[in-house]
Amino acid sequence: MLHMAQVNVSPQDLRKLAGVSKEDAIETLTMLGFPTEEMDDGNLDVEVTPNRPDALCAEGLARAIAAYKTGKPMKIRIGAPRIDVAVDKSVADARPVFCGAVVRGLEMDEALLRSLMQLQEKLHETLGRKRRKVAIGIHDLDAVSPPFRYFACGRSGVSFVPLERNEKMTPGEILRKHEKGVSYAHLVGEKCPMIADSQGEVLSFPPIINGERTKLALKTKNIFIDATGTSDDAVRQAVGIIAAALAFRGGNVEMISINGKPCRILEETRRAMPLKAAERLLGIKLGKAACAKLLLRMGHAVSGNSVCVQGYRTDVMSDADLIEDIAIAYGYNNFAPTLPSFPSIGKANPESPYHEILVGLGFDEAMTWTLSNERACANALLPASGAIGIENPLTEDFAIFRKAILPSLLSVLFESRNEKLPIKLYEIGPVGTPALEKRLAAVSMHPKASFSEIKGIVLALSDAAGMKIEVRAEDFGPFVPGRCAAIYLDGKRAGFFGEIAPQALSNFSLEQPVCALEMKI
């Protein structure tokens, strides 16, 4: 399942930044691929896919609207570095990657403060992988004295006043007593990363907490951005996205230097205009001039046959991404439907009976990741032993090939827990046992979810698919003992169904009863 980030923006702020009405903003953002709706408080709730971190703020969304309306992409000028950061070798084993930037001449107001805090948090959750990959600090530059130093110390090596506190605390005390320290203590070892100024004043303890000294306020004019982490690309992208947002607000961006060398951000990339490939893939005749106009409306600068991709557009990695932008600017509703140019003969999908009966019973289909982790198995009270491991996984969330679909559907219920009940979901997909097999799983969450309900669904599925199954009373991990059963097909156990155990519900923070099934098909 693709998790969308929800960005809350003020229509008044969008009007100020992009010159559009609320209705125009909703229509344009939705057309650009950011589904938008008005909330009860009058603000707009915008869904942003993870591949567009530059749009996780009012500035990024307004920039996209402005480019589409005017056909004039934003040009950001980057000043030479005036501030140096000494990165000490002691951070090599703690949090090795550092990047930063300075933005001067801002006119701070409540809307900008709110947008900055939201952008920082959204980047932490998405690009930053909950601060593990990237952690960001945004500071009032005038409250400290450059140059800065990035180093690692012991848990009692320094003390400073953390954000929203009045007394000094050591790193060890923050990790034990501060709510942010308790939440993110697992990201820090015995060596604690620190950023301090020339007077020894601490700006930040990444990835945990900033110092109260550099807290942003309405009087803030000049800002220092820092980002630390484990990925050089991701850290630079985070700094660039925030700097670009502030530049759209009128700030003047300048690089910093690290150990005397310029730390470059927002570097543009040049690609050849994919005109022929776009015409072939989209099935339309564009011509060079029309193609250039569409690219300009998506924020890309065009010169001759060359396309200049702005540094904050981290999602553009190939011609396919530019072609997608061309299609968006052209308008998907403007593509004329045509019949296929080749003959084809349809045939029944063997999974069709399952889909038909479940949809008929009020279930919605879910599509979740086939990769999972041992934690998800444990939360669902399923053993992770014997799972197919992923060699060199990019994140611990995707460390194994899933052994069951049920943990994924319980996670979807958690994400949907505020939706109207009942919530009924199903999925058909592969699992590794370790042999690869196709399974069907379904969950139903509402106050009266019961064993009888899910048994009726199992019997309806078996009738629709023409299967002769046998139901036997057996206990199985995720289910309430005595309120579950096994499914046997041709004398072999093919699945389980029943009421989800209270412990599993608690592990997924679910407050309503859930009945579920998972079976081989």
Question: What fold characterizes domain 352-520?
Answer: BirA Bifunctional Protein; domain 2 (3.30.930)
Residue 1: its pLDDT value, please? 39
Q: What is the pLDDT of residue 135?
A: 97
Determine the pLDDT at residue 2.
46
| Residues β-bridged to residue 102 | 224, 254
Whether 139 contacts 210, CB under 8 Å: yes
What is the reported pTM?
Answer: 0.72
Distance CA 425, CA 339 (A): 33
177-181-184 Cα angle (round to 5)? 145
What six digits make up the tokens of 182?
A: 């308790």
Per-residue confidence of the chain (521 residues) as pLDDT tens digits?
345 789 999 999 999 999 999 999 999 999 999 999 999 999 999 999 888 999 999 999 999 999 999 999 999 999 999 999 999 999 999 999 999 999 999 999 999 999 999 999 999 999 999 999 999 999 999 999 999 999 999 999 899 999 999 999 999 999 999 999 999 999 999 999 999 999 999 999 999 999 999 999 999 999 999 999 999 999 999 999 999 999 999 999 999 999 999 999 999 999 999 999 999 999 999 999 999 999 999 999 999 999 999 999 999 999 999 999 999 999 999 998 888 778 888 887 777 888 889 999 999 999 999 888 888 888 999 887 777 887 777 777 788 888 899 999 999 999 988 888 999 999 999 998 778 899 999 999 999 999 999 999 999 998 887 888 899 999 998 999 999 999 998 889 999 999 999 999 999 999 999 999 999 98
- What is the per-residue pLDDT for 339? 82
CATH number of the 78-263 domain: 3.50.40.10
Residue 313 CA, chain-centre distance (Å), reads 16
Strand partners for 101: 225, 255
- Asked whether the beta carbons of 53 and 235 are under 8 A apart, the reply is no
Q: Which pair of structure tokens corresponds to residue 99?
A: 């990047």
Cβ–Cβ contacts within 10 Å for residue 177, how many? 12
The SS3 of residue 284 is: coil
β-strand partners of 74: none
Cβ contacts of 475 within 8 Å, gap of 6 or more: 481, 482, 484
The architecture of the domain spanning 269-332 is 2-Layer Sandwich (3.30)
CB 434 within 8 A of CB 388: yes
Q: At 241, give phi and psi (nearest 5°).
A: -65, -45
Whole-angstrom Cα Rg for the chain = 27
Sequential DSSP letters for 320-347:
HHHHHHHHHHH-GGGSPP---SS-----
Q: Residue 62 carries which DSSP code?
A: H
Q: Is the CB of residue 14 less than 8 Å from the CB of residue 20?
A: yes
269-332 matches 5-70 in CATH topology: yes
Q: Dmax over Cα atoms in the chain, in whole Å?
A: 78
CA–CA separation, 118 and 372 (whole Å): 28
Q: Are strands 514-520 and 492-500 parallel, antiparallel or unpaired?
A: antiparallel
Q: In what order do the strands lie in the sheet with 44-48?
A: 5-9, 44-48, 36-38
Please report, for the chain, the start and end positions of each structural domain, with discontinuous segments joined by +: 5-70, 78-263, 269-332, 352-520
Q: Which residues lie below 8 Å from residue 298, measured CB to CB, with a gap of 6+?
A: 64, 67, 68, 325, 326, 328, 329
φ/ψ bin of 410: left (φ > 0), alpha (ψ from -120 to 50), beta (otherwise): alpha
Could you tell me if 174 and 208 are in contact, meaning their C-beta atoms sit under 8 angstroms apart?
yes
CB atoms within 10 A of CB 27: 13
Task: Tell me the CATH class for 5-70.
Answer: alpha beta
Angle at 239 between CA 242 and CA 299, to 5 degrees: 55
